[in-house]
């Protein structure tokens, strides 16, 4: 298949919102035993790099702050990314802080204060818990380190996320195994359909199957700028461990930056401002140094806190 990288018209046109954005990325407890000595919490650097490559600046949302601090941070950032990982969806600090920002975002958007949320893998799963108040995931062991094409729903091309996707990229994502999956738990279509809260809140954009279970791989909220992917767009350009099955093909890289550009443009719609007062206590990611962990973990680099 010949792949021609064509910049979509939506990315060329001038947007009617601010040109800068600050994206928060939520840290989580360090759950790798061999990495605890580096710090009690972390953010994989690939998430930061992906957002920066799309034109955003990043602030880490650390897990040891006060509720008051999180409210201040919410007012200072233009969107939040809930990254993948392996902490508890109910009892972890990652879960508790996700709920704080989710509740703030719902209330803000209801008042016309635009604020997007993006959840990847664990973040996707956390969004389903926050919306349904239940853990409805099904355990599967056939989606760990596997790349898949996406099965797009009939409504996908009318969605916010995919309505401007170039036809060539849509064809690639539909046919080539380029979305990296690293999850043992999945939200089955059956569980989604049977839960009224999820069914009314989210539009299913893509699904996948492990051979036995059909699960949701991409979704977006109907009424809110909330998006979730069970797969990992950030891994294709920035994670290079030889024992993995992550695609680094040109098509996969283009896919990553389509997704990143979409979310960063969503963040640009937010009117929140990162002030000098906030910067004094909650600095941008530039003040932290990533640690090389490619020889001892699944991530090439990680920020520890």
Long-range contacts of 168-172 (CB under 8 A, 24+ apart): 168/3, 168/4, 168/6, 169/251, 169/254, 169/255, 169/258, 171/1, 172/1, 172/3, 172/251, 172/254, 172/255
Instruction: Answer yes or no: is 1 within a domain.
Output: no
Asked if residue 222 has pLDDT above 70, the reply is: yes
Q: Would the pTM of this model clear 0.85, i.e. be above it?
A: yes
31 is catalytic: no
pLDDT of amino acid 140: 81
Instruction: Answer yes or no: is 82 within a domain.
Output: yes
Question: Any idea what the CATH number is for the domain that residue 203 is in?
Answer: 3.40.50.880
Catalytic residue among 15, 31, 183, 232: 232
Instruction: Answer yes or no: is 177 within a domain.
Output: yes
Instruction: Answer yes or no: is 256 within a domain.
Output: yes
Q: Report residue 19's pLDDT band, with 50, 70 and 90 as the boundaries.
A: low
Q: Tell me which residue of 230, 283, 235, 212 sits closest to 65, measured CA to CA.
A: 283
Q: Tell me which residue of 45, 94, 23, 13 sits closest to 260, measured CA to CA.
A: 23
The pLDDT tens digits for 269-292 are 999 999 999 999 999 999 999 999
Average pLDDT value over all residues in the chain: 94
Catalytic residue among 121, 245, 248, 289: 121
Asked if residue 94 has pLDDT above 70, the reply is: yes
Segment 71-94 mean pLDDT? 98
For residue 78, the enclosing domain spans 21-28+36-304
Instruction: Answer yes or no: is 238 within a domain.
Output: yes
pLDDT of amino acid 20: 76
Instruction: Answer yes or no: is 51 within a domain.
Output: yes
248 is catalytic: no
Asked if residue 1 has pLDDT above 80, the reply is: no
What's the number of domains the chain is made of?
1
Instruction: Answer yes or no: is 15 within a domain.
Output: no
Instruction: Answer yes or no: is 8 within a domain.
Output: no
């Amino acid at each position: 298949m010949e792949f021609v990288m064509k910049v979509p018209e939506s990315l060329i046109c001038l947007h009617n919102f601010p040109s800068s954005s600050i994206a928060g990325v939520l840290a989580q407890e360090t759950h790798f035993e061999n990495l605890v000595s580096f710090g009690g919490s972390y953010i994989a650097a690939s998430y930061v790099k992906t957002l920066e490559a799309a034109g955003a600046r990043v602030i880490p949302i650390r897990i040891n702050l006060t509720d008051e601090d999180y409210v201040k941070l919410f007012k200072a950032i233009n969107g939040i990314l809930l990254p993948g990982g392996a902490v508890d969806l109910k009892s972890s600090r990652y879960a508790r802080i996700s709920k704080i920002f989710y509740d703030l975002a719902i209330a803000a958007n209801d008042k016309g204060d635009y604020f997007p949320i993006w959840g990847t893998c664990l973040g996707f799963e956390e969004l389903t818990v926050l919306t349904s108040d239940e853990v409805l995931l099904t355990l599967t062991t056939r989606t760990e380190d596997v790349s898949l094409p996406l099965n797009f729903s009939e409504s996908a091309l009318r969605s916010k996320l995919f309505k401007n996707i170039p036809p060539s990229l849509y064809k690639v994502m539909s046919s080539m195994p380029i979305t990296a999956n690293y999850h043992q738990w999945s939200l089955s279509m059956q569980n989604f359909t049977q839960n009224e809260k999820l069914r009314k809140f989210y539009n299913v954009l893509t699904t996948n199957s492990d051979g036995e279970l059909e699960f949701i791989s991409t979704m977006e909220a109907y009424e809110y700028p909330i998006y979730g992917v069970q797969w990992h767009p950030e891994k294709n350009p920035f994670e290079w461990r030889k024992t993995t099955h992550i695609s680094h093909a040109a098509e996969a890289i283009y896919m990553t930056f389509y997704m990143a550009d979409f979310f960063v443009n969503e963040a640009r719609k937010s009117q929140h401002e990162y002030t000098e007062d906030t910067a004094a206590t909650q600095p941008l990611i530039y003040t932290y140094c990533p640690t090389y962990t490619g020889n001892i973990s699944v991530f090439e680099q990680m920020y520890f806190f």
